[in-house]
Amino acid sequence: MKTKFDDLVKLRKNEIEKIERNIRKINSSIKMLKEKEASLKKELLSFSLPKSGTFSEINQLKQMQYLLQNEIENINSQIDVLNSRKKELLEELKKANIEYEKMKYLQNKEIKKKIRKLQLKEAREMDEIAILLRNSNAT
């Protein structure tokens, strides 16, 4: 049964789905970054200080370790930003769900009102038919 709230309910539902899609994208990005971080940490731990060698070789190794540590820190900061955005989206999702439920409630209330109105109309029509049949039988 069509109500004036149908479009609003559909709009609210679409908002929820959009937010949920964004949360899934963020979760996927976080997972990917954590995998990359784990890989970099593993690579960093695989470095061992050489027992012998030139100063430049040791310096290169230290430079590589420093670059890997910076990359890990950058990934961690990206993860923090994504987690922060995810938290914001979860709040938006909660609000959107509340709005959706409000519209759904109003839609259901409107449908019940229309059904009640149709039932009353049908009852009146049945009463009229009964009266007409009674009057036609009486004559």
Q: How far is the CA of 48 from the CAs of 6, 34, 124, in angstroms?
A: 66, 24, 92
What residue segments make up the domains of the chain, in order of their start?
6-101
The H-or-E segment that residue 102 falls in is helix 55-138
What is the C-alpha separation between 121 and 130, in angstroms, rounded?
14
Q: What is the pLDDT of residues 63-107, one digit of tens each?
A: 999 999 999 999 999 999 999 999 999 999 999 999 999 999 999
Which token pair is 121? 């109309």
**Dist. CA 23–CA 29, nearest whole Å:** 10
- Which pTM was predicted? 0.77
The per-residue pLDDT for range 23-55, each reduced to its tens digit, is 999 999 999 999 999 999 998 888 777 777 787
DSSP secondary structure code for residue 4 in this structure: T
CATH class of this structure's domain 6-101: mainly alpha
